[in-house]
Amino acid sequence: MWFRNDLRMADNTALYRAAKSCECMAGIFIACPETWREHNDGDHVVAMRLRSLMQLQRALEKKHIPLYFLEVATFSEVPAALDQITQKLKIDALFANAEYPLNELRRDQAVRAQLKKRRLPLELSTDRTLVPPGSITTGDGAGYKVFTPFKRAFIAAHDNSGEAFAPLPAPRSRSDDHAGQWPEWIAVEGDSNLVRRVPDTVGDYAVAPGGNQRVRDWSTGEAAGARALKAFAETIDDYHRWRDFPAQENTSRLSPYLNCGAVSIRQCVQMATQANGGRWAGGSEGATTWLSELLWREFYQHLVVNYPRVCRNKPFKPETEAVPWSDREQDFAAWCEGKTGVPIVDAAMRQLNETGWMHNRLRMIVASFLTKNLLTDWRKGERYFMQTLVDADFAANNGGWQWAASTGTDAAPYFRVFNPYSQSKRYDPDGRFIRTYIPELAELGHRDIHCPPRDIFADHGYPAPICDVTESRKTAIEAFANLKK
């Protein structure tokens, strides 16, 4: 079983299929730190991955299933490495769960071609998504470009198929005799060997990176993911009421676990459909709303397969390639540091920098501010999020950024630009969230905190706004209006 971003025992489709077909089995994880850096995987998302891997290794070993670890620099080295390893370990079938961004698809095609020469099958399972990308299509067979019709089509096809998404059991323990047959390590051509221990450092990544303690404090692994899911099940019925209010913290915070695979999408669907009388829609409003969010995730995963140009750094809407993005590096730096002078934007960016996570409403606000008010290329924001979020996921992040920048799948026209001040008043009415992350403004009352009066900035050591949101909105709308269709 070749593990990637599916680091769990329970409800792991490929692991289940491997366990069913093979009496004697082992796991392998191949770290590719240079490719991870090229993909902008940040220190904390990788730390979370490696820590989850260590926990998975212990759980597998308890069931007499060894987990091997290999480090190579890039994806391009994986086919040859797997070829050698499968020969040396006398493997006769390799199982994995499919991954969908373009480079991952190409890596798997290359592995399949390499192993085919020895008639060794690579069996890929659908696991990261509920259904295979490409299976939900419009009447003319194309992938959906807009979320709402995708969601309608998905629910029409699957509303009564709760059973189809029922989680699978973890593999049973293997016999002690078989476990003893696996070597402790084997030599592999290249710089590192195949070993049965996950190291503390991988390339220039570390299991315990420096930086902010609160980012490092995220608990990891399958048990932590299961606890988060169980805790959220208690409050899911209220999700729709408070999910847009960042100070309430009532969303599930399951994204870091979903993304490294410590929790499966089917486990989430099972919990929510149970809370919803076995259905996708109707029943509990909270559960229905949350299930819809899970379908946003599904939609973006399908989008990268249906429209792979988004994996090549290209906008989903080709004409938006011509947007005259600003090259004011100081604006981008102020945005990254949470020093734009717009309190809700700065509080959000400080939440990201301090905790590795940001509330969804705030992701939309800061992305709109960067791409519209500062007219900065969405790819810069996309990259910064990839490098800093503990839940960084290519499909969801690219989808979210392009949605906010009007280069993507948003059904609303480009002239809908979020006003950060009205968003702030609406979703953080008493300023509680802002005060948590901007101590300079902690003494301001709820009237002033969203858009502090001019004389207050200097007194409080807080910067004046770097742009006028009304004027910059007009400039952005003109820039988009001038694009050739």
Ligand X SMILES: Cc1cc2nc3c(=O)[nH]c(=O)nc-3n(C[C@H](O)[C@H](O)[C@H](O)COP(=O)(O)OP(=O)(O)OC[C@H]3O[C@@H](n4cnc5c(N)ncnc54)[C@H](O)[C@@H]3O)c2cc1C
Sheet bearing 67-71, strands edge to edge: 2-3, 27-31, 67-71, 194-195, 185-186
Among 49, 243, 317, 372, binds ligand X (CB under 6 A): 243
Residues 334, 463: contact at Cβ < 8 Å? yes
Q: Binding string, 298-337, against ligand X, x = CB under 6 A? A: --x-------------------------------------
* Enclosing H/E stretch for 94: strand 94-97
Alpha carbon distance 475, 482 (integer Å) = 11
Counting every residue written for the chain, the total comes to 485
Please identify, using beta-carbon distances, which residue of 243 and 317 lies nearer to ligand X.
Answer: 243
Please identify, using beta-carbon distances, which residue of 86 and 407 lies nearer to ligand X.
Answer: 407
Does residue number 293 form part of the binding site for ligand X (CB under 6 A)? yes
293 carries an active-site annotation: yes
Alpha carbon distance 314, 210 (integer Å) = 33
Where are the extended beta strands (E) located within 160-204? 185-186, 194-195, 201-202
Residue in 193, 296, 306, 440 annotated catalytic: 296
Please identify, using beta-carbon distances, which residue of 66 and 420 lies nearer to ligand X.
Answer: 420
Can you name the residues that pair with 358 across neighbouring β-strands? none
Start-to-end C-alpha separation, the chain = 48
Does residue number 71 form part of the binding site for ligand X (CB under 6 A)? no
Does residue number 397 form part of the binding site for ligand X (CB under 6 A)? yes
Residue in 2, 36, 218, 378 annotated catalytic: 378
Residue in 182, 325, 354, 419 annotated catalytic: 325
Among 367, 370, 466, 476, binds ligand X (CB under 6 A): 367
Q: What angle do CA 386, 391, 397 make, to 5 degrees?
A: 50
Please identify, using beta-carbon distances, which residue of 253 and 446 lies nearer to ligand X.
Answer: 253
Query: Segment near ligand X (CB under 6 A), from 202-210, 213-221, 357-365, 432-440?
Result: 357-365
Alpha carbon distance 400, 82 (integer Å) = 35
Whether the CA torsion 302, 308, 310, 316 is positive or negative: it is negative
Does residue number 380 form part of the binding site for ligand X (CB under 6 A)? no
Does residue number 392 form part of the binding site for ligand X (CB under 6 A)? yes
Identify the residue whose tokens are 């400080």. 350
- In degrees and rounded to multiples of 5, residue 361 shows phi and psi of -60, -40
Among 44, 49, 107, 363, binds ligand X (CB under 6 A): 363
Structure tokens at 301: 């995963």
Q: At what angle do helices 360-368 and 343-355 cross, to 10 degrees?
A: 120
Does residue number 297 form part of the binding site for ligand X (CB under 6 A)? yes
325 carries an active-site annotation: yes
Least Å distance, CB 363 to ligand X, is 4
Among 136, 236, 404, 444, binds ligand X (CB under 6 A): 404
Q: At what angle do helices 43-62 and 221-235 cross, to 10 degrees?
A: 100
Ranked by CB distance to ligand X, the top (closest) residue is: 400
Number of residues that bind ligand X (CB under 6 A): 28
Least Å distance, CB 334 to ligand X, is 18
Distance of CA 473 to CAs 17, 123, 242, Å?
A: 53, 50, 28
Where are the extended beta strands (E) located within 147-270? 185-186, 194-195, 201-202, 205-206
Please identify, using beta-carbon distances, which residue of 137 and 235 lies nearer to ligand X.
Answer: 235
Does residue number 46 form part of the binding site for ligand X (CB under 6 A)? no
403 carries an active-site annotation: no
Query: Segment near ligand X (CB under 6 A), from 110-118, 189-197, 359-367, 406-414?
Result: 359-367
Please identify, using beta-carbon distances, which residue of 187 and 231 lies nearer to ligand X.
Answer: 231
- In degrees and rounded to multiples of 5, residue 2 shows phi and psi of -95, 105
- In degrees and rounded to multiples of 5, residue 95 shows phi and psi of -115, 145
Residues 460-479 that bind ligand X (CB under 6 A): none
Least Å distance, CB 303 to ligand X, is 10
Residue in 280, 357, 401, 403 annotated catalytic: 401
360 carries an active-site annotation: yes
Residue in 40, 193, 360, 419 annotated catalytic: 360
Please identify, using beta-carbon distances, which residue of 84 and 126 lies nearer to ligand X.
Answer: 126
Residues 68, 44: contact at Cβ < 8 Å? no
Total Cβ atoms within 10 A of residue 140: 5
Please identify, using beta-carbon distances, which residue of 13 and 355 lies nearer to ligand X.
Answer: 355
Which residues are identified as catalytic? Answer: 293, 296, 325, 360, 378, 401
**Which residues contribute to the site for ligand X (CB under 6 A)?**
243, 251-255, 258-259, 293-294, 296-297, 300, 360, 363-364, 367, 385, 389, 391-393, 396-397, 399-401, 404
